[in-house]
Structure 1
Amino acid sequence: MSLPDRYNFRSAEPRLAQFWHDAQTYAFQPDGSAPVYTIDTPPPTVSGELHIGHCYSYTQADVIARFHRMLGERVLYPMGFDDNGLPTERFVEKTIKRKALEMELPEFLEQCHTLIHQAEERFETFWRRLSLSIDWCYRYSTISPQAQRTSQWSFIQLYQAKRVYALPAPTLWCPECQTAIAQAEVDDTTLSTRFSTLAFTLENGTTLPIATTRPELLSACAAIFVHPSDARYAGLIGTHASLASASFASRECIEVPILADEAVDPIKGSGAVMCCTFGDSTDVRWWRTHQLPLLAAIGRDGRMTELAGPLAGLSVPQARKRILEILAEQGLILQQETIEHNVGVHERCGTPVEYLHTRQWFIRVLDQKERFLEAGRQIRWTPAFMQARYEHWVENLQWDWCISRQRFLGVPIPAWTCRACGQLLLASREQLPIDPRTTAPEQPCSCGSMEFEPERDVMDTWATSSCSPLIIANWVDDPERFARHFPASLRPQAHDIIRTWAFYTIVKGLYHTGEIPWREVLVSGHALSAERSKISKSKGNSHAGGPLELVERESADALRYWATSIKPGLDTPFHPELIANGRRLVTKLWNASRFAARHLQELSPEEIASTQEPAGLLPTDRWLLARLAHTIEHATRELRESDYAAARAEVERFFWSDLCDNYLELVKARLYNGMGEHTQAARWTLYQALLAVIKLLAPYMPFVTEEIYQGLFQEREGASSLHLASWPQAPAWWQSARAEADGQALLDLLKQVRRYKAEQGLSVGAELERLELSIRPDLKDMLETALVDLKSATRARELLFTPQEMEAGVSLTRQEAS
């Protein structure tokens, strides 16, 4: 039993990572009777390089995976890559410096697959270096044949259940990405803009002021709305208002009806508001409710249509500026001010979204809100307050889930439309995965025609990643595996995708199986930059350098220490000082283990294996064992609740304070001066405490704890790896309130002696000739039993006890320095 003088993480960490890989330490064990613990791991998007924020969230989930594995559960911890869809397309376009629209589809897709493969290999290399305890045999990607098969079968089932439908309808649209998007992909941002009050003309020739931030939509104005109870406009309902528009619209004059609707805010602007098709969701509602004409002023490319007359082809900002200039020249602007207002932008590119009338595919969700809310209440959310975020999202849903995208790298919609009769034909299960753009149906339409128009859209990446628990459980093809792994035990994910990934996966789970897809959601916060913004690939604001560079400089264990220092769900800035604390803990663990090594080797295998209370235990030993029992119980309870930070804090406190600062100081004399059974008792207690500490810290710092285990414990404990060893359990006899109270009395005395030495300018190790202690009578026997340890820690040659009734229990009454 020995350890080198110094721990070199640069050589140890890669060596141990290879050891775990070769030994398949983290492989899922399909055979056995132990409970299965399945983790629905977030598949990172392949849209750039990994950054420090990924280390933050993925390490937290890994701690929970390692904990459950050491509990003896059969842990399936897979890894996926979300490599289809718009994020990957944008990454490829940025990398090759060419737009997808500038290339032939096969060439662009080939570029995508090449870069995807390279990125995913880099990702896996880093995850192994960070020591995520993934079973890489279960690696998947959302563009793989299996994932496509699952996603397409999901589409077919939902269509057959009348949960999926296609409809030409107002749709959220990103002009930059030139595709429809879902409500969940829209972020709110505050932008500065001009709030202009325009002069519409009423039928009697008077002016009706209309305030707007979007004059570029004037050519699509379909009506003006006022509140039915607004006395100012009661006489105008049913009449018309007009605005000369030949200079910025295809029609010479915009003439629209004035209608009443309770959705109008009478105190906003002039209290009269124009409805254009479409400026926002209110316009959409009015258009449907009042059966207004459909006028499209903005095209799919974000430029003005022919409806804008001479301004056709201009971008929205260009058209807005030019129309305001024209209106000002005509004297039709009554008032202008600059305001800050909320604008919906596409989360992927930051472009303000539009509402365009296009044919899209939707999954019905609006009619099932109560079902989804109830499902959320049956899930354990960690932290609990994240459930409110989920409920707020569901309660405020306004649209069914739009799943079709007018893009290229995605899972194709597995359907064709008969050109003769218009009937939709779905692919068969056996055909999946399939691309209808390149493969024809196997049978004719029911009308007899063989002429089909393929669906050319692809599904949004969320439509596939929402199937992640179905993918890892092989829902389509392996019923036995599916029954074993669905529902999953844990879904780790960030809080900003509760509205997307969490919600959409719950939708799919309920629709396909009638079950909630997992029992617990562990929500992580974000790592923040120095400017306290979310660290992301797109922002390039990870000032700490690349994560691999950081690991090679600081160690994976130190980085994992930082990542698990904050409670679940909370954002935190990148803290170099926490990484430094992690390095200090690694060093202290190593030094304490080296100190212990020479003493632990004196224990026989029989002494270690015995479950009986050893002879020779002193109050000091019993105190440490009681404190260790409390620590194990506390850490286990917190980890079962997924509070990795609270659990680690308790273990650290025990290690630094109880074990190193106090116990080792108290028992040094016994360890160094052979005292028979009392020395063996101290060695046995130290063995139990150190082994428990490295087990309790193994999920957090897998490398240094494994190195200590292999050097000091493996031969005697038997498990090939610390990470396959059993989680520590304290025998009932360790737990003792009396032992803890006795230990506290010893520590109070030790604290007083240390204070005295500091006041006298003496070192902690300075010898004292004599110490006199006033003690409660009930402590006398215990203190006399622990005399050898007291002398060892205080360095006093003589200790005298004077009985005295008092609350404190022990006090220092007289001392003499040598």
Structure 2
Amino acid sequence: MILTDRYDAQARETELAAAWEREGVYRFQPAAGAPVYAIDTPPPSVSGHLHLGHVYSYAHADFFARYRRMRGDAVFYPMGFDDNGLPTERLVERERGVRAADIGRQAFIRECLAVSEAAERQYEALWRRLGLSIDWRYTYRTIDDESRRVAQWGFLDLLRQELAYRQQAPTIWCPECGTAISQAEVNDEGRRTTFYTLAFDLADGGALPIATTRPELLPACVAVFVHPDDERFQRLIGREAVTPLFGRRVPILADPAANPAKGTGAVMCCTFGDTTDVAWWRAHDLPLIEVIGRDGRLLAAAGRYAGLSTAEARRRIVADIAARAGLLDAQPLEQTVRVHERCDTAVETIISHQWFVRVLDQRARFLAAGDRIAWHPEHMGTRYRQWVENLNWDWCISRQRTFGVPFPLWYCAACGEPMTPDLADLPIDPSEDQPSRPCACGGTAFVPEMDVMDTWATSSLSPQIVGRFLADPALFQQVFPMTLRPQAHEIIRTWAFYTIVRSLYHTGQLPWQDVAISGWGLAADGEGKLSKSRGGGKVTGPQEMLARHSADAVRYWAAGTSLGKDAFIDEKRIQAGAKWVTKLWHVARFSERFLGDYACPPLPPADLTTADRWLLARLNQLIAATTASFDDYDYATARSEIEEFFWRDLADNYLEMAKKRLYDGGPGHEAARYTLYVTLAALLKLLAPLLPYVTDAIYRDLFAGSGGPATIHHAEWPRADERFDDPAALAAGVALLDIATAARRFKSERNLSPGAAAAELQLSVADEELRAALEAAELDLLSITRARAITFERAGNGTDWLAAGAVAIRLIL
């Protein structure tokens, strides 16, 4: 096939995507002896529309998949969709304007399924358009039957090992979403508030000033704490204080967690304002007063303030205290507030029955596991460690929502004991199904567990789900432990941590050996991180950007920033990628007239010129550097090395040096063809993981007919050829580039084009070995400088001589 004058990226990318699917190019086909490279691909949550930030991070995993496939690995690269749980419910509430309470459980589940299916079709279309080399046969949904089966099996296995438990305990609660959440779903957000100093009466006379940002919790105050070494309060330890308005007598206790420098140094303990309150409540065996309900409004314990929102209760309580002269001070304060990551609502701590997975007593085990995993970049392992070290809660996995994986159990109506199903019956919905046997007490009436599992309780089992742990043990044996987990840094605390927990608990093994952490795609206009649920802001949508510039151009941008680093979404950088694609096509089209019928010999010609030997030596360097970069998950350095070689060494210089030999067909013609063939073929392969479309288009048109595989993506990764290791040629190549640069500068200063002819090129070279190399490059120097003759002079320090590194030149027009 003849390369067209113009590369039509949209048409060729569409054509190649169809060919890849038709030919099964990316199917997982393990061969005897071939290592398996399995990728635990992030299943995007169905919570909104994908944006260029997703394109940025998902492209990274594809770079690695394509590289390892060309290295001979059997690549297992699946895709999933995380479509159960709160993110999808929030999307349905937003887009359809309905809640489960409004239309009923089953109707709401149908809405969730319809919305998620539509979103997943859009997600898949984008991933296919971007050129992700997914094996779509291994696609899963976290709400599908097999995912639910694995999730329910996993819960029963935790139950069997006594690693899961249900209890009534302090729980992080989101009033907006109406559910318990885990510590990992809480973000810190800076908000402006007021620090109120209130007068607490002492039961035996006097007053004690106490500062708080949450006076609405006064009805739940159960103690006052001071630091044991704070001399201001030592005389008060063991006495009682009386809460303003409510008149409750509470003990004044000492605890090292009380901060003498914060507020007045005395702090009220309420059930519950924060994790410190919970710790004090447990450590000092304090009473429990529930004052905030599941809807975020005050309960009966608040007296006349019951039914008010926390904000309104705060306003009224402060006003009433001030009316009684009990408000001593009020100062504005910038405070860090704990909010739910899904809705930015300030969370509360309430008492509720929940299911938990034990993690706190296994902290050392999880820290040791993190140390055995290779984190890319390395410092992301520190983030994991810090998260594990700062855990305060066991993992709460139950949610008081509708669309999720049901807990597979019932409670006996007679004795209250839980009843679990047989494993063969999974998956089950306890609200629809009944146990297949009576309770041990003989009871046959059961109450279903209506809570659903946290979405992370399912997606933390992604290696087991996609490896078909229960359905296809032979496949699971092949792909587990998996090789790579690619993901974003903000979910180290959730997806990475929880997957490690589940893998250790269920298999005793690490889930993967490498973790590649991508940064965020940031809006260049200061909007910051893009979000599916909050929209992509003013940034152009990914499909529009792909249509405007091509998938290869967008992937070029995604490859420009290293793992772990955020990248601004800059259309100019994407345009630079499009420019590279066009230039690559033009270089290939120029080469086609010389390589179209070329049968590359196994041995290089004997008459390689200095320029040939230099380019081949540089190619060796490039192959080694690019391979090392990809091995280290450093696609950005690989791109930079390839780009510099392509533009400086090949396009701008070697082709200009070799043109005369290529066109004239005389001495050195076959050497130039050989060098061009070897270099272009290797360069395309090095680029293929990053720019899969244009490289395969050129390969199929120009190289596939010479006996290699039908697609570049099944071609063998280039290997450095020791025959081309040539330090002398590399040194001479530097001189060639210096001479070419000086000649171009000379012409530019005289407003001449680079192709303007010159009568003579005079060279002054002190080093005899370098002079011999340049003499052997005469045809190449004539070609690139457009000189008609070359002479070597002894002098070279006159005013009309130009310095060119180790050489001086004079160009005679």
Superposition TM-score, scaled by structure 2 size: 0.97
The correspondence of residues 635-654 of structure 1 with structure 2, limited to 5 A, is 635-654=626-645
| SS of aligned partner of 2:167 | strand
2:415 to 421, 442, 449: 421
1:682 to 672, 683, 686: 672
Q: In the comparison of the two structures, how many residue pairs are matched?
A: 806
Letter in 2 for 1:668: K
> Which residue number in structure 2 is paired with residue 564 of structure 1?
559
> Which residue number in structure 2 is paired with residue 138 of structure 1?
138
| SS of aligned partner of 2:196 | strand
For residues 263 and 255 of structure 1, what CA distance do their matches in structure 2 show? 22
The correspondence of residues 34-113 of structure 1 with structure 2, limited to 5 A, is 34-113=34-113
For residues 740 and 803 of structure 1, what CA distance do their matches in structure 2 show? 24
Give the drift of 1:51.
Answer: 0.8
Residue 486 (1) aligns with residue 480 (2):
yes
| SS of aligned partner of 2:169 | strand
> Which residue number in structure 2 is paired with residue 598 of structure 1?
593
> Which residue number in structure 2 is paired with residue 184 of structure 1?
184
For residues 803 and 509 of structure 1, what CA distance do their matches in structure 2 show? 74
| SS of aligned partner of 1:373 | helix
Give the drift of 1:62.
Answer: 0.7
Whether contact under 8 Å (1:194, 1:336) holds in the other structure is yes
Letter in 1 for 2:380: M
2:278 to 273, 284, 289: 284
1:391 to 367, 385, 389: 385
Give the drift of 1:749.
Answer: 2.1
> Which residue number in structure 1 is paired with residue 22 of structure 2?
22
> Which residue number in structure 2 is paired with residue 249 of structure 1?
none
> Which residue number in structure 2 is paired with residue 275 of structure 1?
269
Residue 811 (1) aligns with residue 807 (2):
yes
| SS of aligned partner of 2:528 | coil
> Which residue number in structure 1 is paired with residue 656 of structure 2?
665
| Deviation digits for residues 618-651 of structure 1 (CA, Å, limit 9, x no counterpart) | 1111111110111011011100111100001100
> Which residue number in structure 2 is paired with residue 749 of structure 1?
739
> Which residue number in structure 1 is paired with residue 303 of structure 2?
309
Letter in 2 for 1:661: D
> Which residue number in structure 2 is paired with residue 759 of structure 1?
749
Whether contact under 8 Å (2:227, 2:258) holds in the other structure is yes
| SS of aligned partner of 2:392 | coil
| Deviation digits for residues 563-612 of structure 1 (CA, Å, limit 9, x no counterpart) | 11101110121111111110110110011111111011252x3xx1x321
Whether contact under 8 Å (2:615, 2:654) holds in the other structure is yes
Whether contact under 8 Å (1:381, 1:522) holds in the other structure is yes
For residues 12 and 451 of structure 2, what CA distance do their matches in structure 1 show? 50
1:430 to 421, 424, 430: 424
Q: Which runs of 4+ in 1 moved over 6 A?
A: 804-809
**Once structures 1 and 2 are overlaid, which stretch shifts more, 367-376 or 487-496?**
367-376
For residues 582 and 444 of structure 1, what CA distance do their matches in structure 2 show? 66
Whether contact under 8 Å (2:169, 2:354) holds in the other structure is yes
For residues 804 and 783 of structure 1, what CA distance do their matches in structure 2 show? 17
2:254 to 234, 255, 260: 260
Whether contact under 8 Å (1:777, 1:805) holds in the other structure is no
Whether contact under 8 Å (2:59, 2:132) holds in the other structure is yes
1:293 to 278, 287, 291: 287
Give the drift of 1:809.
Answer: 7.5
> Which residue number in structure 2 is paired with residue 576 of structure 1?
571
> Which residue number in structure 1 is paired with residue 685 of structure 2?
695
Residue 619 (1) aligns with residue 614 (2):
no
> Which residue number in structure 2 is paired with residue 11 of structure 1?
11
The unaligned stretches of length 5 or more in structure 2 are 798-802
For residues 732 and 227 of structure 2, what CA distance do their matches in structure 1 show? 78
> Which residue number in structure 2 is paired with residue 410 of structure 1?
404
The correspondence of residues 705-720 of structure 1 with structure 2, limited to 5 A, is 705-720=695-710
Give the drift of 1:525.
Answer: 0.2
Whether contact under 8 Å (2:756, 2:786) holds in the other structure is yes
> Which residue number in structure 2 is paired with residue 549 of structure 1?
544
| Deviation digits for residues 406-436 of structure 1 (CA, Å, limit 9, x no counterpart) | 1111111111222323322222210111111
| Deviation digits for residues 471-510 of structure 1 (CA, Å, limit 9, x no counterpart) | 1111223322111111111000000000000000010111
> Which residue number in structure 2 is paired with residue 777 of structure 1?
768
| SS of aligned partner of 1:616 | coil
Pair 1:748–1:482, CA change in 2 (3 A): same
> Which residue number in structure 1 is paired with residue 206 of structure 2?
206
Give the drift of 1:400.
Answer: 0.6
| Deviation digits for residues 224-277 of structure 1 (CA, Å, limit 9, x no counterpart) | 1122222222222222211353xxxxxx52221212212111221111111110
For residues 773 and 343 of structure 2, what CA distance do their matches in structure 1 show? 71
| SS of aligned partner of 2:485 | strand
Whether contact under 8 Å (1:344, 1:352) holds in the other structure is yes
| SS of aligned partner of 2:759 | strand
Give the drift of 1:440.
Answer: 1.2
For residues 512 and 504 of structure 2, what CA distance do their matches in structure 1 show? 11
For residues 810 and 477 of structure 1, what CA distance do their matches in structure 2 show? 68
Residue 382 (1) aligns with residue 372 (2):
no
| SS of aligned partner of 1:231 | coil
Whether contact under 8 Å (1:562, 1:579) holds in the other structure is yes
The unaligned stretches of length 5 or more in structure 1 are 246-251
| Deviation digits for residues 694-732 of structure 1 (CA, Å, limit 9, x no counterpart) | 111111111111211121111114311111111112321
> Which residue number in structure 1 is paired with residue 800 of structure 2?
none
Pair 1:774–1:456, CA change in 2 (3 A): same
| SS of aligned partner of 2:288 | coil
Whether contact under 8 Å (1:150, 1:471) holds in the other structure is yes
Letter in 2 for 1:371: R
| SS of aligned partner of 1:232 | coil
Residue 348 (1) aligns with residue 342 (2):
yes
Give the drift of 1:753.
Answer: 2.1
Letter in 1 for 2:148: Q
For residues 627 and 753 of structure 1, what CA distance do their matches in structure 2 show? 22
| SS of aligned partner of 1:778 | helix
For residues 810 and 678 of structure 2, what CA distance do their matches in structure 1 show? 37
| SS of aligned partner of 2:464 | helix
Letter in 1 for 2:745: R
> Which residue number in structure 2 is paired with residue 248 of structure 1?
none
| Deviation digits for residues 368-416 of structure 1 (CA, Å, limit 9, x no counterpart) | 1111111111111111111111111011111111111111111111112
For residues 809 and 90 of structure 2, what CA distance do their matches in structure 1 show? 76
For residues 265 and 564 of structure 2, what CA distance do their matches in structure 1 show? 43
Pair 1:813–1:413, CA change in 2 (3 A): closer
Whether contact under 8 Å (1:777, 1:804) holds in the other structure is no
For residues 804 and 53 of structure 2, what CA distance do their matches in structure 1 show? 49
Whether contact under 8 Å (1:779, 1:809) holds in the other structure is no
Residue 454 (1) aligns with residue 448 (2):
yes
In percent, how many aligned pairs have the same letter? Answer: 51
Whether contact under 8 Å (2:49, 2:535) holds in the other structure is no
| SS of aligned partner of 1:409 | coil
Residue 166 (1) aligns with residue 186 (2):
no
Pair 1:813–1:447, CA change in 2 (3 A): closer
For residues 724 and 31 of structure 2, what CA distance do their matches in structure 1 show? 35
For residues 804 and 34 of structure 1, what CA distance do their matches in structure 2 show? 61
For residues 743 and 31 of structure 1, what CA distance do their matches in structure 2 show? 43
